[in-house]
Amino acid sequence: MDDTKKILEERGSRYGNYLAQANIACALRHVVTLALGDRGKTMAADQMDALVMINCKISRIVNGDPDYADNWRDIAGYATLVADRLEGK
């Protein structure tokens, strides 16, 4: 088995079916985009990117293994990066 196939199998066992996970992530991004548009709000690049990444992590939790602590730590990490920038750190 080549390395790519092995990695994909490992990720599939951790995060579930990729198409299902991608659909969840896209739905979450759609909600954020609509909500911002409805309120006439914009965000800085780091805020939007953090939300995209957090949505990805949420979709992996929902679709895959909710007990995989790394996803939860990643969510905290992305939020911390934005908060630190907002606080001038």
C-alpha span between 48 and 39 (Å, rounded): 15
Assigned domain for 6 exists: no
Q: Which domain holds residue 18?
A: 13-86
Residue 8 in any domain: the answer is no
* Confidence at 81, pLDDT banded by 50, 70, 90: very high
Q: Does pLDDT of 9 surpass 80?
A: yes
**Which residue type occupies 18?**
Y
- Asked whether residue 31 is assigned to any structural domain, the reply reads yes
- Rounded CA-CA distance 26/68 in Å is 21
In this prediction, residue 27 carries a pLDDT of 98
Q: What is the pLDDT of residues 18-75, one digit of tens each?
A: 999 999 999 999 999 999 999 999 999 999 999 999 999 999 999 999 999 999 999 9
Mean pLDDT of 2-25: 93
Query: Is 32 within a domain?
Result: yes
DSSP assigned state of 1: -
The tally of domains found in the chain comes to 1
Q: Identify whether 49 is part of a domain.
A: yes
Identify whether 64 is part of a domain: yes
Asked if residue 73 lies in contact with residue 39, where contact means CB atoms within 8 angstroms, the answer is no
